[in-house]
Amino acid sequence: MATKYYLPEDNSPLPPKSAEVLTTCCDYCIVACGYKVYRWPVGTPDGGMKAAENAFDIDFPSGPLQAWVAPTQHNVVMHKGRPHNVVVIPDKDSKVVNINGDSSIRGGTIAQKCYNPDKPTNDRLMSPMIRINGTLQPVSWDMALDVATDLMKYTVKQYGANAYGMKIYSYQYVENTYAGSKFARRSMKTANWTMHDTPANVTSTPGFRDAGFDNFGPACKDWGDAEVLMICGTDPYETKTMIFNQFIKPAIDGGQKTIWLNVRETAGIAYAKNRGNALFIQLDPGTDTPVLGAIARVIMENGWEDSEWIKQTVGQQ
Amino acid sequence: MTDLKKKDETAAEHGKCMLNRRQFLMYSGSAAAAASTISISLFPGQAQAKARVVGYPRKLVAKLSQLKENKPLDFNYPDDGPNTSCFVVKMDGAKAGSGIGSQRDVVGFSYLCTHQGGYLTGKYQAVGEHRVLGQCPLHLSTYDLTRHGIIISGQAYQSIPQVLLELDGDDIYAVGMMGLIFGRNENLMEG
C-alpha cells in the first residue's frame, strides 16, 4: 500500500472447511464483542462458494446479515514459521453483546491489527527500545526489564514509594488489570495508582461516582430498559456501538426518550431525532457543565429530586 | 469523453483521496497489483490480479439526457446475479471522484451496505453541498458519494463499491468496479 491513493481491493478469500477456528474478542472497548478467527496456510486451497466448500457452511454470494469477508477482514501472518491467511469476522454464534454477529467498524477490522510487515503495522516495535548515547536502540526484554527494575528501586529508595506511579486501563481483561494493580499497590506499595478514566483513584473524582453512579456498573440491558436516557458529550453509536445498536436503538424504536448534549449532531443523534422522541441540545464546546448545573438547579427549585435516595447513597463510602 | 478537461483528470484536483479512472486502471494494472491481496506480495502472482481488474464487462446502463437531477436510476452490475443492485445518479452539479459528464457529477455505486448487506435503496440524499447514501436501515452506515463512497459515519468495513463509468456521446457505460461487493468473495463470478 505504498501509495497515497485509496485503492480498495475487490476480492477476499473464503476460509476452507479445514481452516482452524479460534474465538477472540474485540479489545477496543469494554463491551468486548465476540469474534471468530479462521486460519489456514497460504498456498493451500481457499474455501469455495458452495456451502459444502467453505467454513461458514453457506452459499455465496451471501445475503444480508449472513457471513461475508470484507477485504479489510483478511490478513496474512506468520504462524509456526509459515505464512497463514487469517480472516477475523464477528461471531454469528454470539449470544451476548454483539448478538448474532453484529459489529462496529473497529471490531470489524481487527484483522488489520495483526502484524504484517507489508501493511501499515510495519512500524510496530518488535523489541523494547532504550536511548543509548543519544540514539534509541533495540534491546532485549531482559535488559529492558533490568534497567526498569533498577530505576524503579532507585526512585523508591531516593524519593519514597509514592514516587512510583501507575496509570492503567480499568477494563480490558480482568487478569491484566488485576496483575498490574497488584504489582503497583502490593509490591511497589504506592498510593500513586489510578485507572485511565479517573484523574486519581478517590471517590470525589471525577464527581459522578460521588453522585452514586458507578461508571461501569449498568448491565447493557439497562440502556434499553430505561424510560429516558440523557447522553452527555458522547454518541454511543460511535463509541459503544453494540450498546447502541443492540439495546438503545431498539428502545428508541419502542418509544424510549433520549436527551443528547453534544457539540455535533452525530449519527446516533440524527437517528433518534428522526424517530421523533429525542431532544438535542447543541452546545458550544466546554459548556456542558454549566448546562448540567442549570438542569440540576431547576430540579432542586421544583423539589423533583429523590431526597431519600440521595440521603442513602451520596457521600457514602 | 471529449468534454473532459485535462486538468480535471489529476487526482490532485479532487483532493488527495481521489482517484480517477485512468489512474485506477494504471495502478491496478501494474504497481497496485501488490495492493490487491497481501498474499500476492508474499508470493508473486501479479498476472492473476491484473486479470481480475481488467475482466469487467462494458455495459450500457443509462443515457445522460435521461437522468434527472438527484434521481437515482437502478441497474445491475457486473452481472445479473445476486447482490448486483447498483444505481447511477446525476448529483446536481456536485463534483465527485470518478464523476463523469461536463460537471463530473454523474456517479455509480452499489446499493449493498458493506457492513452487513443492508439495502440502501431509496437512501440517496442531497443536502446542501453533500451527496450521501444512508443511513442504512440495519445499522445506520452512511457514505459520501462525492468521495468514492467513503464512510462518513457508521460501521461498514470499507467504502461502498463504486461503479466506474464512461461516457460515449449520450451513453453511460459501466466498465469496472472499485471495492468488493457485499456477499461476494470476488466481484466477477465464473459462469
Q: Which of A43-47, A217-221, B28-32 has the lowest mean pLDDT?
A: B28-32
Banded model confidence at residue A203, pLDDT cuts 50, 70, 90: low
At residue A316, the pLDDT reads 60
What would the grid cell of residue A118 be? Answer: 507489508
At residue A82, the pLDDT reads 96
Query: Is the residue at B30 inside a domain?
Result: no
Each domain of chain A, given as residue ranges in start order, spans 20-123, 125-150, 160-210, 220-313
Query: Is the residue at B16 inside a domain?
Result: no
At residue A173, the pLDDT reads 59
At residue B48, the pLDDT reads 32
At residue A115, the pLDDT reads 95
What whole-number distance in Å separates Cα of residue A235 and Cα of residue A101?
A: 22
> Closest residue of B to A42, CA-based?
B39
User: Is domain A20-123 in CATH 2.60.40.4210, yes or no?
Assistant: yes
Closest CA to A115 of B38, B139, B69: B38
Q: Which CATH number covers residue B87?
A: 2.102.10.10
Query: Is the residue at B174 inside a domain?
Result: yes
Query: Is the residue at B67 inside a domain?
Result: yes
- Put simply, the chain B residues between 121 and 160 with a CB less than 8 A from any chain A CB are 135, 138-140, 142, 148, 150-151, 153-159
Q: What CATH number is given for A220-313 in this structure?
A: 3.40.228.10
Q: How many domains is chain B built from? A: 1
Q: Please report the number of interchain residue pairs, chain A to chain B, with beta-carbon separation below 8 angstroms.
A: 155
Contact, A262 vs A269, CB < 8 A?
yes
The alpha-helical segments, DSSP class H, found in B102-148 are: none
Q: What is the mean pLDDT of residues A230-259?
A: 93
What whole-number distance in Å separates Cα of residue B147 and Cα of residue B89?
A: 14
What whole-number distance in Å separates Cα of residue A165 and Cα of residue A192?
A: 5
At residue B43, the pLDDT reads 30
At residue A195, the pLDDT reads 79
Kindly state the percentage of chain A with pLDDT values over 90: 69
For chain B, how are helix, strand and coil distributed in percent, rounded to 5?
A: 20, 30, 50
Q: What is the mean pLDDT of residues A121-130?
A: 93
Is residue A290 within a helix (H) or strand (E), and if so which, with residue range?
helix A288-302
Banded model confidence at residue A146, pLDDT cuts 50, 70, 90: very high
At residue A174, the pLDDT reads 67
Is B139 in the active site?
A: yes
**Residue located via cell numbers 512500524:** A123
Is residue A261 within a helix (H) or strand (E), and if so which, with residue range?
strand A257-262
> In terms of DSSP bridges, do strands B162-168 and A228-232 run parallel, antiparallel, or are they unpaired?
unpaired
**Mean pLDDT score of chain A:** 89
> Closest residue of B to A10, CA-based?
B180
pLDDT tens-place string over residues A66-125: 999 999 999 999 999 999 999 999 999 999 889 999 999 999 999 999 999 988 899 999
∠ Cα B29 B30 B34 (to 5°): 105
Is B148 in the active site?
A: no
At residue A212, the pLDDT reads 57
pLDDT tens-place string over residues B34-51: 333 222 222 333 333 333
> Closest residue of A to B52, CA-based?
A10
Banded model confidence at residue A252, pLDDT cuts 50, 70, 90: very high
Banded model confidence at residue A255, pLDDT cuts 50, 70, 90: very high
pLDDT tens-place string over residues B87-119: 999 999 999 988 999 999 999 999 999 999 999
- The amino acid sitting at B105 is D
Closest CA to B100 of B152, B127, B150, B61: B61
Whole-number Cα distances in Å, A237 to A242, A271, B114: 8, 10, 17
- Name chain B contacts of A249, Cβ cutoff 8 Å: 140
At residue A210, the pLDDT reads 57
Query: Is the residue at B139 inside a domain?
Result: yes
Closest CA to A171 of A25, A24, A31: A31
Query: Is the residue at B24 inside a domain?
Result: no
Banded model confidence at residue B24, pLDDT cuts 50, 70, 90: low
What would the grid cell of residue A167 be? Answer: 496509570
When CB atoms are compared, the residue of B156, B177, B182 closest to A10 is B177
Banded model confidence at residue A205, pLDDT cuts 50, 70, 90: low
Query: Is the residue at B47 inside a domain?
Result: no
Inspect the interface and report whether the beta carbons of A61 and B186 lie closer than 8 Å: no
Task: For residue B164, give its domain range.
Answer: 57-178
Q: What is the mean pLDDT of residues A239-243?
A: 90
- Give the torsion sign (CA, A214, A216, A221, A226): positive
Higher pLDDT, B26 or A121: A121
Query: Is the residue at B153 inside a domain?
Result: yes
Question: Is the bond into B78 cis (omega within 30 degrees of 0)?
Answer: yes
Q: Does B119 touch chain A (CB under 8 A)?
A: yes
Banded model confidence at residue B28, pLDDT cuts 50, 70, 90: very low
Q: B142 φ, ψ to 5°?
A: -135, 135
**End-to-end CA separation in angstroms for chain A:** 55
**CA A166 and chain centroid, separation:** 21
Q: Does B41 touch chain A (CB under 8 A)?
A: yes
Q: What is the mean pLDDT of residues A186-200?
A: 83
∠ Cα A137 A143 A147 (to 5°): 95
Q: Does B85 touch chain A (CB under 8 A)?
A: no
Q: Does B42 touch chain A (CB under 8 A)?
A: yes
Q: What is the mean pLDDT of residues A202-213?
A: 57
Banded model confidence at residue B52, pLDDT cuts 50, 70, 90: very low
**DSSP secondary structure code for residue B63 in this structure:** E
At residue A177, the pLDDT reads 80
- Give the number of other Cβ atoms within 10 Å of residue A288's Cβ: 16
